[in-house]
Structure 1
Amino acid sequence: MGIARLFPLLCCFLLVFVEGLDIPDEIPDPDEIEYIKQHVEATVNSTVHLHCGSNVPTLFIWVFSRPGTERNEPLAYNHGQGSKLLALASTLGDISLLTNTTTLVIEGVSDEAEGVYTCQALYDMEEPPKVRFYYTQLHLQDEEERSRGSGSPPPSSD
């Protein structure tokens, strides 16, 4: 299914979380949507930082998908009126959003935290508005993998 067909669904999904937000008159061109993929490796009880760009967007939402599923479960969002963490976040570790950023921090990573974290960001101060999707695959290493040094370097910043 093409992104053009999914875009209205994305907008509806985001609107559930952004009551009262002024939606820009101009809808981003689906061909202008950016997709950024990242890979992070961690161990249980460690701390990870998941990044969603270097600039704070007008609104963003973090969702989580467990391995083997296609279900996206919302974790956190911000629509200009402060960040909000949702119930699922507590099962993955001690989750927070760094102040004035989109960075999702997971301290004390739980064994349930492995999966895909997607940040959907809307920048409406640009002409035309810009949408970016940041897909971060979090892989939990066991101690044997870690001791062999099979970890990957941290993701580069934007």
Structure 2
Amino acid sequence: ILVNNAGVLRDNLLFKMSVSDWDTVMNVHLRGAFLMSKTCQKHMVDAGFGRIVNLSSSSALGNRGQVNYSAAKAGLQGFTKTLAKELGKFGITANAVAPGFIATDMTAATAERVGMGFEDFKAAAASMIPVQRVGEPDDIANAIAFFTGEAAGFVSGQVLYVAGGPLD
């Protein structure tokens, strides 16, 4: 089982974004997933079994101030679908989980950066989510557990949005 979960933020509007911030986000999200998947796939092929889960994001659909992050997360969705096509015949599935707002250190740092208290930030986010709450890390862990389990052996190339409801 491989879960590609490394991630960083370097948010900024396009005209303010440095090439370094673009490259950092691309390298951590896409290059990291590529290198880990490439390394693990040989062992998975030899075993005739493997599960790869990539962490995308609802930001893959576009998010102001996150042109680099959005592009990387959308790229991971295409990466996932391609891995599913290439590796399926070897007993390997590849899927992606795309979280919405999850209460983590990363979202707490975003709240601080925009000058909001974390509780207020979460409340504002929850008001725009159909289930009226923000996600917790366990919500994502449960989706990953499904994709890595026996019950998901016929599920590959899918992106599961864990975001509390449909996204606008």
Q: Is this a same-fold pair by TM over 0.5?
A: no
Q: TM-score, normalised by structure 1?
A: 0.30
Per residue, is there more helix in 1 or in 2?
Answer: 2
Q: Give the strand-richer structure, 1 or 2.
A: 1
Where relative contact order (Cα < 8 A, 6+ residues apart) is larger, the structure is: 1
